[in-house]
Structure 1
């Protein structure tokens, strides 16, 4: 048993790097999938829309904790190999990110008036070019505040990775608390770190929403 010291604070700061890494990986792999989901949800053909909507509803109806448990404990059963914690949690958070960002971006696309599609089509360009050059810039303005808001939820959600032993900020807090027997102090520091990261993003989301709504 020992008291909380600068060494423990350094351990928390080191674990924070893995929290940031997990967020970056989730966005890097999840964002392209989110765009695909958003495009499928707004497709003209009914089958892709319905199939994608069904998949999104299933994933949204499953707790993130259950996804983490499945990919860390369940996936090795099907593959017959042990999956590293980083790989398992990255897969789970990638799917989580793709599903929720996909719905946010779908809302942004659908917020653009149909007349914008018609005006773009009158230029004689392909539908992808219509989306890329005309629809996407307008949809991005609508979806950007909610996207930043989701980033806050994603950062806080990474704390659930602690349940499968992935050493990010919350898991490091558990280890430091067990070593120092000062849970109130340790978790107060952990909470302060989360707040220091998330509060500026929350304010950014609100400012973007006010500014972009004013611009429209």
Structure 2
């Protein structure tokens, strides 16, 4: 039995909830192992540069997943963002939940400048749009804890044959927050389910990653 690991983040920046974890929790509550052909594990990460990856790495070691989809919040966005690139820099606009606020610091001193996602971003984009879920391919995951976690995930699993990447989600309409781009938590959960399902299919060789025309992702 294959396994999918989904991670989301704790609240930060004064918010009471984090939509990434709310979406992951919703997936966990509705996941059908027999229907999906894979088990599911979830983990909530701290919004800290020093703590997020160790918690995620421990979950990877515990569950030995075939697919890892790390999920974070992108406020003020109105679409699910399939992140293509993680960059080797930490540059925090606000302090993390431990009070750390690095400025232009490398995440890994001798690491590559960037990693591409291991997820099938174009195949997932096509599947999300077929399901009428707003989605885009994003070429920057920022320089905060989300990007740091994405980079550490790809760096840490580079030689382990695990399909892994990062997805940003908007806020949920269930939150008490005035964000015009918010989506229902059930929609965000379905988006994550589709990404995981697509990654499993591509990793298993039952679905090819499509080549899309230039500009089709926007």
Report the TM range for the smaller structure's normalisation: under 0.3
Q: What TM-score results when the alignment is normalised by the length of structure 2? A: 0.27
More helix as a share of residues: 1
Q: What TM-score results when the alignment is normalised by the length of structure 1? A: 0.27
More strand as a share of residues: 2
Indicate the structure (1 or 2) with the bigger Cα radius of gyration. Answer: 1
